[in-house]
Amino acid sequence: MKRPKRFSPMRSLILSLTISLLSYTAQAKDGQELSSFQQLCVASDAVGFNWDNGEYKKTRFKRLTYTVTKVEPEKGSLPDLMCNRMREDKSTINNSDSKSYLVCLRLGELGGGDPSYHPCKEYHLKLKDKPWRVTLQCENDEFMMSPNEHFHKARVHANTRSTPEDDYKDSLVLTVGKCSSIKQ
């Protein structure tokens, strides 16, 4: 397997400066739902396992960059159907120190193909004498983030058989990194 290319220090510096110049803070005021936002999420590491000759082998994966956009899909559109069809838990929380909202996120891989749409919950938590903390958690804990902070993305499959068909299993991958707002 080819080792993924790493960013040169200069390219990493340019990317970091670009993110910094474009960034602003997505703020949650008094636990109110965040308005539409767009984040650039840059992976700092991607690790996991590849299936090889009947066993898993530890490996590193290419560090990708994602765009994450909170969207309000047009009624009846494909994003609307994806976000609403896959939402099983329609419950929300609304009390003085915690709130949740059902939201839809568009997740795209920078330089990749079509983005995917994910039903998510936007959680707000008020800690004593601190600003509201916001975390977005998408279906099956596949993607989690806090705006302008960290994210993690997991790809885990359900194939636990020891003898899969054609000795093939998808990779198991955990990606971590940081997100920053992009002005719209």
Q: What is the pLDDT of residues 135-183, one digit of tens each?
A: 999 977 689 999 999 999 999 988 888 888 888 999 999 999 999 998 7
Cβ distance 129 to 112 under 8 Å?
no
How do the domains of the chain map onto residue ranges?
37-181
Cβ distance 152 to 138 under 8 Å?
no
Convert the pLDDT of each residue in 7-55 to its tens digit: 444 444 344 433 333 333 455 567 788 888 899 999 999 999 999 988 9
Amino acid of residue 37: F
pTM of the model: 0.76
Convert the pLDDT of each residue in 68-87 to its tens digit: 999 988 887 888 887 875 55
Which of these, 67, 96, 103, lies nearest to 182 by C-alpha position?
A: 67
